[in-house]
Amino acid sequence: MLQRDLLDDAMRRALALAGRGPADDPNPQVGCVILDPEGRIVAEGWHRGAGSRHAEVDALGRVPEAWRSRPGELTAVVTLEPCNHVGRTGPCALALAEFGIGSVAFALDDPGDASAGGAESLRAAGADVLGGVLESEARALLGPWLARQRAGAAAASSATAPPAASPAAAPRPRVIAKWAQTLDGRAAAANGTSRWITGAEARADVHRRRAEADAILVGTGTLLADDPALTARAHDGELLVDPERQPVPVVVGRRPIPSGARVLRHPALAARGLEAPIRLRGDDLAADLAELARHGIRSVFVEGGPGIIGSLLARGLADEVLVYLAPALLGGPGLAIGDIGIDDISGIRRLDITETLPLGRDLLLRGRLPASSSDPPRYAERKRPADRMRPAERPRDPDHGHPADRPHPDPALIPATEEH
Ligand SMILES: NC(=O)C1=CN([C@@H]2O[C@H](COP(=O)(O)OP(=O)(O)OC[C@H]3O[C@@H](n4cnc5c(N)ncnc54)[C@H](OP(=O)(O)O)[C@@H]3O)[C@@H](O)[C@H]2O)C=CC1
Ligand SMILES: Nc1c(N[C@@H]2O[C@H](COP(=O)(O)O)[C@@H](O)[C@H]2O)[nH]c(=O)[nH]c1=O
Ligand SMILES: [Zn+2]
């Protein structure tokens, strides 16, 4: 391992590079420099936000040809312990080990249950590993992100009972619940049609925000009523981001996805080697979200419908709401959100409004739900007749050859297809 003062200097540079990444991203800001045996920088990298290359992989990609035959002489200096899990990108610990890096110095341990363990993996692969280099400086940079991680873990565990029997103690992704409604709070007409309540500018804003999320989620009610594409695209249909950066579609509920559903052609599927959207049953949404987090999904854009959004709000599992308000009226039964477990006005949930944005004739109201995560769950998960069926009696999805009631996505559903 290089001398400590050389590592400290390199870590300062890595922290400066980390700061170039987005501060309010679901992913941490991470920087990486690669040093020669004299402590000179031969390559640099940083993380540009969820879905893009991690800092280590970015830096490895920039190592000059002359050093690629002598990787054991190089030292990677990273602000966060290299990740060890398969998420939207493959594990950096593996990328460094496969490169043949000689030494790795990092500042902060990775706090994620799923992503931690990179140092151990690297040692097992024969690298010289040192943690805690300028740890307090890195902690200062990543303070807001670390706080969000802790809040996510607390929300997941407080919203689930009994904790011991559930995987929900893991952090969950950031959940953004979005819907479009009329002034009288309707999200659909009486016959279930809802296209379109809002105008083109509002919908373009939705697509820009879809593009920022790791996953896009709907309930089976929305899937069957609307046959949504769930891509992030421009008005002419062109994708706003490449297929590998498109949000991965997730469908909650037991009913099967029809074989002709547009979501089966979602470009994120082929880009990640998936045959179908991730399926979640929805009986325990906190556990379902924790499962998504274990697959490296840090943010979920929930496109409805009213049933799923109501359940998320009732259980304190939505961090943010985006309400696109159209100056129109529908009346009737198509309320924008379902029961959220409030009987008395004292239970009213007030939002902190963080953005109001006119979009053509429509208006976006963006709000945070600050207290929701610590609220005790108020809403008993609904019991559906299917809950009482034996597994063999539950409907199967004929198109994908797996049970439609799969409790959690198969761990193989999100393979390491990117970057490495
Ligand atoms: N204006 C807007 O922004 C939007 C409007 N819509 C409209 O909403 C209507 C569909 O509403 P809705 O059926 O409520 O749609 P949802 O997408 O919320 O689907 C509800 C279904 O999800 C499944 N589910 C699984 N777990 C849960 C849970 N914990 N809580 C609630 N549901 C769960 C159930 O289906 P299963 O039996 O399969 O398990 C349930 O029937 C359509 O008319 C559509 O056009 C939809 C989206 C957005
Ligand atoms: N009706 C309605 C919305 N509906 C949402 O958009 C989904 C359709 O997605 P896609 O097929 O990808 O365009 C639909 O299933 C529902 O989730 N959104 C809005 O911004 N405004 C609207 O008026
Ligand atoms: Zn990584």
- From 122, 142, 162, the end of a domain falls on 142
Q: Which residues pair with 186 in a beta bridge?
A: 335
CATH (domain of 79): 3.40.140.10
Q: What is the pTM of this model?
A: 0.61
Average pLDDT of every residue of the chain: 83
Confirm whether 238 is a catalytic residue. Answer: no
Provide the number of structural domains found in the chain.
Answer: 2
Percent of the chain at pLDDT exceeding 90: 66
- For residue 322, what are the domain limits? 150-413
The residue ranking higher by pLDDT, 70 or 171, is: 70
> Do 30 and 166 lie in a common domain?
no
Catalytic residue of the set 44, 56, 81, 320? 56
Q: Which residues pair with 278 in a beta bridge?
A: 250
The residue ranking higher by pLDDT, 55 or 149, is: 55
Beta strands in 23-109 (DSSP E): 31-35, 41-46, 75-80, 103-108
The residue ranking higher by pLDDT, 10 or 161, is: 10
> Do 171 and 117 lie in a common domain?
no
Q: What's the pLDDT score for residue 411? A: 31
Q: Please say whether the dihedral angle defined by the alpha carbons of residues 107, 213, 174 and 278, taken in this order, is positive or negative.
A: negative
Q: Is 350 inside any structural domain?
A: yes
Q: Is 135 inside any structural domain?
A: yes
Q: Which ligand places an atom closest to the C-alpha of 381?
A: 1
> Do 118 and 170 lie in a common domain?
no
Q: Is 408 inside any structural domain?
A: yes
Q: Which helix (H) or strand (E) holds 131?
A: none
- From 104, 120, 142, the end of a domain falls on 142
- Which atom of ligand 2 is nearest to 203's Cα? 20
- Which atom of ligand 2 is nearest to 194's Cα? 1
Q: Is 37 inside any structural domain?
A: yes
Q: Which residues pair with 367 in a beta bridge?
A: 321, 353
> Do 110 and 257 lie in a common domain?
no
> Do 75 and 191 lie in a common domain?
no
Neighbours of 187 (CB within 10 A): 20
Q: What's the pLDDT score for residue 113? A: 63
> Do 137 and 162 lie in a common domain?
no
Q: Is 419 inside any structural domain?
A: no
> Do 334 and 397 lie in a common domain?
yes
pLDDT, tens digit (0-9, with 9 covering 90-100), for 321-345: 999 999 999 999 999 998 898 989 9
- Report how far residue 119's alpha carbon sits from residue 316's, in angstroms, rounded to the nearest whole number: 34
For residue 166, the CA-to-ligand 1 centroid distance in Å is: 24
> Do 230 and 105 lie in a common domain?
no
> Do 195 and 310 lie in a common domain?
yes
> Do 111 and 179 lie in a common domain?
no
> Do 90 and 233 lie in a common domain?
no
> Do 203 and 114 lie in a common domain?
no
With beta carbons less than 8 A apart as the criterion, state whether 66 and 276 touch. Answer: no
Q: What's the pLDDT score for residue 370? A: 65
Choose the residue to mutate in 226, 239, 263, 302 for probing ligand 2, maximizing ligand atoms within 8 Å of C-beta: 226
Range name among 59-68, 149-158, 411-420 with the lowest pLDDT average? 411-420
Starting from the edge strand earliest in sequence, which strands make up the sheet with 352-359, in order? 278-280, 248-252, 215-219, 299-302, 174-182, 320-326, 362-368, 352-359
Q: Is 36 inside any structural domain?
A: yes
CATH (domain of 210): 3.40.430.10
Atom 9 in ligand 2: which residue has the minimum CA distance? Answer: 228
Per-residue pLDDT for 73 more than 90? yes
Choose the residue to mutate in 195, 223, 359 for probing ligand 2, maximizing ligand atoms within 8 Å of C-beta: 195
pLDDT, tens digit (0-9, with 9 covering 90-100), for 265-301: 999 999 988 889 999 999 999 999 998 987 889 999 9
Per-residue pLDDT for 365 more than 60? yes
Q: Which ligand places an atom closest to the C-alpha of 55?
A: 3
- Report how far residue 379's alpha carbon sits from residue 340's, in angstroms, rounded to the nearest whole number: 7
Q: Is 121 inside any structural domain?
A: yes
Q: Is 420 inside any structural domain?
A: no
- From 142, 171, 199, the end of a domain falls on 142
Helix (H, G, I), strand (E, B) or coil at 97: helix
- Report how far residue 374's alpha carbon sits from residue 1's, in angstroms, rounded to the nearest whole number: 45
By C-alpha distance, which of 266, 271, 216 is closest to 244?
271
pLDDT (mean) for 399-420: 30
Global ipTM: 0.95
Per-residue confidence band for 166, with pLDDT thresholds at 50, 70 and 90: very low
pLDDT, tens digit (0-9, with 9 covering 90-100), for 4-55: 999 999 999 999 999 998 887 778 999 999 999 999 999 999 999 877 889 9
Ligand 2 in reach of 324 Cβ (< 6 A) = yes
pLDDT (mean) for 240-264: 96
pLDDT, tens digit (0-9, with 9 covering 90-100), for 84-134: 865 555 689 999 999 999 999 999 998 876 667 889 889 999 999 999 999
